[in-house]
Structure 1
Amino acid sequence: MKRKEVVLFMIVGTGINCSDEDGARLVAQKLYSTITKMYPSKVVFFASEQSKNTIPYIEELFAQDNDEFILDDDYQIVLIESIDNFNACFEVFESKIWEFDEDIMNDYQIIMDYTSGTKTMSAAMACCGMFYRKDLISVGGDRSHGEVSSGTEIINYQNLYQIYDRISIARARRYFNSNRFMQCIDILERIVDVRFDKESSINICKSYYSWDIMDFENAYEYLKKVDLSNFDLIEIMEKLKKNLKALGMMVNSKSPNLKNCYILASLINNSIRKAEEYKYDDAIARLYRSFELIAQIQLSKYNIKSSDVDISVLMEKNVSEEFIEYLKKTEEDGKIRIGLVADFLLLNELGDKLGKYFVQNESKIKNLTQKRNNSILAHGLESQTEEDFNQFLEVVSELAHKLDKDMSRFLNETTFAKFDLRFE
């Protein structure tokens, strides 16, 4: 593997009047000391018109050691015109980083020494280095006389991994709150701080990703692996416990009605998440399925399956012969399969409250379902709007609450956790 060439970025001090030869030589000596300790392949000096006059003294120091320090071969000078303008300084540093990073012929390791220069220049270089994940160094030593005494210089590498991790965690939380769970995992994988429970956070993301695609079993298995006592998760702990309970019910409950109600709540919450992402066609498609599922759950209480309607059960329930004949028209391959409208009309025939609600609001509901049928994700080419979604959600929510008195609890327990994104 080819060794990286080290490029040392250095700010040429401007705090001393560079027309003062003694002052300029002192700055040159400090820069020279750092260069000889680092042995870079190239040095990039960032200087003002005034402070660039210090650099010839660095050449002299190399010559005194029988060495050469040649412009363009060993170093280059980049002028900064506005040394007290943070953005201007940042842009100059940034452009040089791009220059070296985009050199396809060479592989450079950039080390940035922000010790010298104005406070603005130093701050801009430190921020730029952190932003682009470059190595940052500062020069310390004996400061008993104010400045670092010559001959006592020590190069301090700044360990920024904790800062990078904090930035990564903040980014991951934003992705998490936006339901971008796979991108969140990619970020979490790069965190190096062993004090952070990376494994639990990744398992939460895997759980929610699985849950979002209705893979309840995997969602449950991943969430079971999470250490719910971990301090990193204290902010969302209670919600995770509710989520674990809900997934457990969907996977393990012996009550079909309870299991189906949790699945319905998950589906409704899934549609709400899609709407939050402005994916209204996706959201309405999920609401349509929720609407259909409500009828199917209610019919199951009468021992009726809409995918295979048993005529003898309908006769036992005193469903009219006329309506039975209507349903028989859908018979295919010896099975009677009925859709959403017929589901609710059958519930109405049974005297069920959900069927009555449908008939009372049939015009409004058919208008909503027709819009869904015209969606590009159904049978048409039209795009749905936020207003379409809200109107559909209102009807589905009302029916869901009529289906089961505990629907508010089911919806709450299947709502995904969200992090507070305020900076501490």
Structure 2
Amino acid sequence: MTVRNQDVQRILVLNVGLPSQQGPETRSEMYAIQRTQPHHVVFVCSEASRALVREYVRLANLGPERHEVLTLEDPDDLVLVYEQVSAALHRLQSRWPEASVVVDYTAGTKSMSCATAMAAVDCEDDKVTLRLVRGQRGEGSTVVPGTETHRPVQRIHDLRARRRLASLRAALARYDYVAAGAGIEEIIDSDISSQLAERCRPIRDLCRAFDAWDRWELQTARQLFTAYRSYPAGRQPAFERLAVLAQLTVVAEAARDGADLAAARDPYVAVEDLLLNAERRATQGRYDDAVARVYRALELLAQLRLRIAYGVDTADVDPGKLPEQARGRIDGDPEGEPRKLGLWRAWEVLAAYPHEPLAAWFAESRDRLWDFLAVRNQSILAHGVTAVSRREWEGKGQAALDLCRVALRRLSEAKVRKPLRHMQFPRDELLDGVSDGA
């Protein structure tokens, strides 16, 4: 009788040991077949065990279409057995993708048991489970007939999940919170223990929070961090970031609504945030993006300084608020559109104010900033048609980033900035204590 694919819902992959004085009907292999009631059996055996396989086929009344024999080339070669069993599992999954696969590694050589279990764990399929015949041990350490149980190996899905979590470290190492969060979501949705799921859930939410922040979806990030407070085992550094997020939200809303920033705790933290973002893009090899963010950080620093210290809006400049020697640097039509200041003109105007703490910094940095602007302007994300190379980033982009940080320190030293503590986003340390099974 032909077995249709849809009729195969349960498959047994069964290690077979060497023949012995014990009758085949009382051996662990036969017990596993009886308890599993498989629609298809794959016997994993050595050449010396093929005769025993024929007895199991007869006793279980397994027709040719309901069983197959995987004869191992060398049952003591762990790697070779692993490769043969892995190939068999892959073939079964391809032929019957909806079937559950029970892998019994009770019998066989030590290498067979170890390799078969490894192959089952490594197949990364929740429908593949491990089972073991257990019972009271008698003479020769064999299970005494009548005392057997066919028990599943507990938490195999947790073992697979931790291995998958470990593989996500590479994504987090490059700040790829989208890939890491999606991978953790798949793990949570798999058949893992509730304890491991509860440990994974906050990490997934943190990945989503940092991804939202990375894209400057600040309200979403704040909501996710606030929700994270409800988890019993929180990471304190994540809580500390809420103050920075709140300040970034203030800056974003003020820029949109024209609100006053003078009373804000540290609006300049938005510049720091852009620099950290640029570093993340550089880590990913996205040097054009990194350069664009450094450019925006330098521009935003001048805009914030002019607005907070002198009430000058670079998008709509009131010439009366500028030093007299700087009024000729305004772009735009005085009779028509609002008069504006671009990055370089904004810095020239800012440096013209008496006692401005960043005036000396700008004078010292002009040449290096100009070199950076040349790289930025040639970028495909600015006015050019070329990509910023790693060498250009390391030579000019990183230098401009460092200069911007010097400027922020000058503001702190001049007591015009009370800096909030800001830090780079976490990477694979988010998984510490989970992927390693601690």
Task: Give the whole-Å Cα distance in 2 for the aligned partners of 1:403 and 1:275.
Answer: 26
Aligned-pair Cα RMSD in Å: 2.8
- Deviation of 1:229 after TM superposition, in Å, equals 6.2
- Is 1:103 the equivalent of 2:98? no
Task: Give the whole-Å Cα distance in 2 for the aligned partners of 1:374 and 1:332.
Answer: 33
Report if the CA contact (8 A) 2:7-2:39 is conserved.
no
How many residue pairs align between the two structures? 401
- Is 1:350 the equivalent of 2:358? no
Given the superposition, is the C-alpha separation of residues 408 and 29 from structure 1 closer, same or farther in structure 2, using an over 3 Å criterion? farther
Task: Give the whole-Å Cα distance in 2 for the aligned partners of 1:136 and 1:198.
Answer: 24
- Is 1:117 the equivalent of 2:108? yes
The answer for the alignment partner of 2:74 in structure 1 is: 82
Within 5 Å, give how 1:16-415 maps onto structure 2: 18=19, 22=21, 25-26=23-24, 29-62=27-60, 68-70=61-63, 72-103=64-95, 107-132=98-123, 133=125, 134-145=128-139, 146-159=141-154, 160-172=156-168, 175-189=171-185, 190-191=187-188, 192-195=192-195, 196-227=198-229, 230-231=232-233, 233=234, 237-251=235-249, 255-256=261-262, 258-300=265-307, 301-314=309-322, 318-320=323-325, 323-327=326-330, 331=334, 333-351=336-354, 352-384=356-388, 385=390, 386-387=393-394, 388-405=396-413, 410=420, 412-415=421-424
- Deviation of 1:172 after TM superposition, in Å, equals 4.9
Given the superposition, is the C-alpha separation of residues 55 and 203 from structure 1 closer, same or farther in structure 2, using an over 3 Å criterion? closer
Report if the CA contact (8 A) 2:24-2:52 is conserved.
no
Structure 2 residue corresponding to 1:5, chosen from 3, 9, 13:
9
Given the superposition, is the C-alpha separation of residues 38 and 274 from structure 1 closer, same or farther in structure 2, using an over 3 Å criterion? same
Which range moves more in the overlay, 35-44 or 184-193? Answer: 184-193
Given the superposition, is the C-alpha separation of residues 211 and 88 from structure 1 closer, same or farther in structure 2, using an over 3 Å criterion? same
**1:179-217 Cα shifts (integer Å, max 9, x gaps):** 222333323333243332554333322221111011222
**1:49-81 Cα shifts (integer Å, max 9, x gaps):** 22223212224434xxxxx333x3221111211
**1:332-382 Cα shifts (integer Å, max 9, x gaps):** 833111101101111122132323322333222111111011112212122
Query: So what's the TM-score if we normalise by structure 2?
Result: 0.83
Task: Give the whole-Å Cα distance in 1 for the aligned partners of 2:25 and 2:284.
Answer: 56
Task: Give the whole-Å Cα distance in 1 for the aligned partners of 2:372 and 2:359.
Answer: 17
Query: So what's the TM-score if we normalise by structure 1?
Result: 0.85
- Deviation of 1:226 after TM superposition, in Å, equals 0.8
Structure 2 portions without partners, runs of 5+:
1-5, 252-259
Percent identical: 21
Letter in 2 for 1:279: R
- Deviation of 1:176 after TM superposition, in Å, equals 4.0
Letter in 1 for 2:358: L
Task: Give the whole-Å Cα distance in 2 for the aligned partners of 1:35 and 1:328.
Answer: 85
Given the superposition, is the C-alpha separation of residues 3 and 268 from structure 1 closer, same or farther in structure 2, using an over 3 Å criterion? farther
Report if the CA contact (8 A) 1:298-1:403 is conserved.
no
The answer for the alignment partner of 2:255 in structure 1 is: none
Report if the CA contact (8 A) 1:28-1:55 is conserved.
no
Q: Runs (4+) of structure 1 moved beyond 6 Å?
A: none
Report if the CA contact (8 A) 1:200-1:225 is conserved.
no
Which range moves more in the overlay, 247-256 or 396-405? Answer: 247-256
Task: Give the whole-Å Cα distance in 2 for the aligned partners of 1:88 and 1:168.
Answer: 24
- Deviation of 1:174 after TM superposition, in Å, equals 5.0
Report if the CA contact (8 A) 2:15-2:44 is conserved.
yes
Report if the CA contact (8 A) 1:220-1:251 is conserved.
no
Letter in 2 for 1:91: E
Report if the CA contact (8 A) 1:246-1:414 is conserved.
no
Task: Give the whole-Å Cα distance in 2 for the aligned partners of 1:178 and 1:228.
Answer: 28
Task: Give the whole-Å Cα distance in 2 for the aligned partners of 1:333 and 1:119.
Answer: 87
Report if the CA contact (8 A) 1:306-1:343 is conserved.
yes
3-state DSSP of counterpart to 1:416? coil
Task: Give the whole-Å Cα distance in 2 for the aligned partners of 1:162 and 1:27.
Answer: 34
Task: Give the whole-Å Cα distance in 2 for the aligned partners of 1:272 and 1:228.
Answer: 31
Task: Give the whole-Å Cα distance in 1 for the aligned partners of 2:419 and 2:75.
Answer: 60
3-state DSSP of counterpart to 1:222? helix
Given the superposition, is the C-alpha separation of residues 194 and 41 from structure 1 closer, same or farther in structure 2, using an over 3 Å criterion? closer
3-state DSSP of counterpart to 2:424? coil
Letter in 1 for 2:249: V
**1:119-151 Cα shifts (integer Å, max 9, x gaps):** 111111112111223111110122144210123
Letter in 2 for 1:240: A
Task: Give the whole-Å Cα distance in 2 for the aligned partners of 1:124 and 1:27.
Answer: 26
Which range moves more in the overlay, 220-229 or 41-50? Answer: 220-229
3-state DSSP of counterpart to 1:264? helix
Report if the CA contact (8 A) 2:43-2:68 is conserved.
yes
Report if the CA contact (8 A) 2:265-2:418 is conserved.
no
